[in-house]
Amino acid sequence: MTTDPSSPLATARRELGSRLRQLRKSAGLTQQAVASATGQHVTRVSRIENGGQAPTEHHIRDWCAICGADAQIPELIATAQAAETAYLEWARQSRAGMRRLGDLHSIPTYQRTTTFRIHEPLVLPGIFQTETYIRQMLAFWYAFLDAPDDTDETVAMKAERTAAALHPTKRILAVLGEQALRTRRGTPEDHSDQLTHLLSLMRLPYISVGVIPADAQRRAIGTIGFWIFDDNAVALETPTAAIKVTRPQEVALYAAMFDQLQTEAVYGHEARRLIATVLAHP
């Protein structure tokens, strides 16, 4: 399969190839030496180093071994896996409907995850949404992506996914921007129902919801929403694609960002007061 040289996948492959090239050069080895040690043709080694071809896990292990860089094997394998699976274009994925979108936002992932850390500056997290809110969101995406309408099936999938997450054995930590409370989907009555539903969820002992006031003094620059699934992966969404982060170092950075965002949020009575203020003027 030919990869667009400007695509995120191609960029990730080039970065990985550059790191492998640096390991080879630091070890004082030629491409031919690496090729012989890893059971590859020298032209394949060249393509890997230039980002034209992806290395296998086996090749990465052998490459690091000959270069005396065994300690880098786990991180490089995670990088290679992330490069191949990190970027899923919505337009391509939505051709079969919306219910299968999102690698991490799947029922099995929600079932496996024990702790969700969620930052949403502009919209309410899916597991907090009412059915009306969900349908309003979907209506936009079907039109925007020109996707076949499978609304009922997608709503049913999301309900099952939410049930998997909203379980006493889980821990859900959410930090919302105040704008997420104020962004209205549907009628004022629909908006009031949504915020009332959010307040009811906030009473559950395994859910923590913080709100960052619009006029808060900010330090962290969290301009995009993200979900952290345990310490395993991070999911982000752009208007055109889903992005999956699995490199341990990157996941740790998102966790550090989430910790910072938590310090800027208000909780308990103050958070409920902000919601009540919006409810008073839906």
pLDDT band at 8 (very low <50, low <70, confident <90, very high): low
Q: What are the tens digits of pLDDT across the range 56-69?
A: 889 899 999 999 99
Q: What are the tens digits of pLDDT across the range 155-203?
A: 999 999 999 999 999 999 999 999 999 999 899 999 999 999 999 999 9
Q: How far is CA 101 from the centre of its chain?
A: 12
What is the reported pLDDT for 85?
A: 57
What is the reported pLDDT for 6?
A: 42
If one compares 84 and 213, the residue with the highest pLDDT of the two is 213
What is the reported pLDDT for 128?
A: 98
Taking the C-alpha atoms of residue 172 and residue 167, their distance in angstroms, rounded to an integer, is 9
Nearest-Å Rg of the Cα atoms of the chain is 22
Instruction: Record the tokens describing residue 238, joined without a space.
Output: 């752009």
Instruction: Please name the residue ranges forming H helices in 27-177.
Output: 31-38, 42-49, 57-66, 73-85, 90-93, 107-112, 131-145, 151-165
Long-range contacts of 248-256 (CB under 8 A, 24+ apart): 248/74, 248/75, 248/78, 249/75, 250/82, 254/226, 254/228, 255/117, 255/228, 255/231
Instruction: Record the tokens describing residue 254, joined without a space.
Output: 């998102």
Strand-pair partners of 116: 172, 229
pLDDT band at 75 (very low <50, low <70, confident <90, very high): confident
What is the reported pLDDT for 4?
A: 44
* Kind of pairing between the strands at 207-212 and 171-177: parallel
Mean pLDDT computed over 46-74:
91
Mean pLDDT computed over 138-144:
88
Q: What are the tens digits of pLDDT across the range 203-255?
A: 999 999 999 999 998 898 888 899 999 999 999 887 777 788 887 888 999 99
What is the reported pLDDT for 248?
A: 83
Q: Which of 281, 276, 268, 262 is nearest to 176 (CA)?
A: 262
Strand-pair partners of 212: 177
Q: Write b or e for each residue in 14-39: b if 16 or more Cβ atoms lie within 10 A of its Cβ, otherwise e.
A: bebbebbbebbeeeebebebbbebbe
Ordered domains of the chain (ranges, CATH): 8-85 (1.10.260.40), 88-280 (3.30.870)
264: enclosing H helix or E strand: helix 248-264
Q: Quote the strand ranges of the chain, DSSP E.
A: 87-89, 115-120, 171-177, 207-212, 226-229, 233-237, 241-245
